[in-house]
Amino acid sequence: MRTTLRLQAVSMIRLPATAVLALLAASVATEADDGPKLKGAAYLYAQPGTHAERKGGLRVEFTTPGKRLVIAYGRKTRKMKVSRDGTSEEGRQELKPVRSTLEEGGRVAVFAHLPPDYYDLVVIDDETMCLHEGIELYPDSKPELSETKFFDEVKGSLGLRTDRIGGWEGFFDKKQFERLETDGVRGGMLLQQMRLGTTLAESGAKLKGTVHSIDVVWLERALKEGVGWQVITRQQLYRNEIPAREFHKHCFVKELQWIRIGFRQRTIGPIDLGSPRN
C-alpha cells in the first residue's frame, strides 16, 4: 500500500485538484470491502447512506479473517413488528437490515451508522459455508416448548409436501430447519432453503449455481386440529446463487445477540466464531 500511494503522489503533481481527490478516494476505498457479492439480492439490505445522519455505529472484531457477510438485524423494524404496506421506498430502506463493510481482511466489520435499537448479528461465509447468528426469533418464547413436539410440527407444516401440490415456498426443493422459538401458539423459525433443480434467469438462461436462501418466518398455530402452523410473515436475510449444493453449517452464537446501539460508536469483540456443528 505504501508503494502504491508513493507512485500516485508523483503523478498527482501534474493533475487537476478534482483528479487528485478522486485518486485519494480510490486509495482509501481499497481498504474497505462489502464482502461477498450477492447476485440480485442487494434489495434485502438498506442502501448505503440510508442512515448517514445517525451518530450511532458499531465495529465488530473477529479473531479470524474471512470473506464474510455481516448483517445487523434491528429488533424494532422486523416484519413481525412493522408492516411494509403503504410505506415509501425511502421508508422501506429505513426498515431493512444493514450490511457492514469489511476491514483488515474481514477481521473487522463496520456499521458506520445505525439507528438506536437492539441488534442481533448474522454472519454468513460462502467460502467456508458457515452461518453464525444470534437472532432472537420470538421474544415471548418458552424454551421447553421450542425443542420438543412443536419443532416437528412446524417442520411438517413448512416442509416439502408429498400429499398435495403447493406448500410454503415451493420454489425451493430442499429445506433445513435450524431453530424455533415459540410460546406454543405463535413463534419464529430460522431455516435455510436451497433449490437443486433447474433454475432459469429472467433471460431464460439456465443458472449454473444453486440458489440459497436464509429466512426468518413468524408463525401461528391453527386452532383446528390437524391444520398445523401457518406463516404470518417472512423476512429473507440472505439470497444468493453460489456453486455449493449443501447448506451452510449453522451455529448460534450468544455474543452476536442483544447489542445495544445508541448515539455513540461502539466496539465489540474480538468474537471467536468457532466451529459450527454439521
pLDDT digits (tens, 9 = 90+) for 234-267: 999 999 999 999 999 999 999 999 999 999 999 9
CA–CA distance from 231 to each of 159, 167, 168, 213 (Å)?
12, 11, 8, 17
> For 164, what's the count of Cα atoms within 13 Å in the CB-facing half-sphere?
7
> For 26, what's the count of Cα atoms within 13 Å in the CB-facing half-sphere?
9
Using the Cα atoms of residue 49, residue 50, residue 56 and residue 60 in order, give the sign of their dihedral: negative
Comma-separated ranges of CATH 3.10.450 domains in the chain: 143-245
Residues of the chain with pLDDT under 50: 1-15, 17-30, 277-278
Grid cell for residue 177 = 430447519
- Report the pLDDT value the prediction gives residue 1, as an integer from 0 to 100: 40
Longest Cα separation, the chain: 79
**Which CATH code, of 3.10.450, 3.30.310, 3.30.1330, 1.10.3230, is assigned to 143-245?**
3.10.450
- Report the pLDDT value the prediction gives residue 222, as an integer from 0 to 100: 87
- Report the pLDDT value the prediction gives residue 151, as an integer from 0 to 100: 93
Name the packing angle between helices 2-12 and 17-29 (round to 10°): 170
What is the tens place of the pLDDT at every residue in 26-58?
Answer: 444 445 788 888 987 989 999 999 999 999 999
192: CB partners within 8 A, 6+ apart: 131, 175, 176, 178, 212, 213, 214, 215, 247, 248, 250
Closest by CA position to 114, among listed 85, 74, 79? 74
- Can the peptide bond before residue 97 be classed as cis, meaning omega within 30 degrees of 0? no
Residue 134: count of CB within 10 angstroms of its CB: 20
Q: Are 214 and 238 in contact (CB under 8 A)?
A: yes
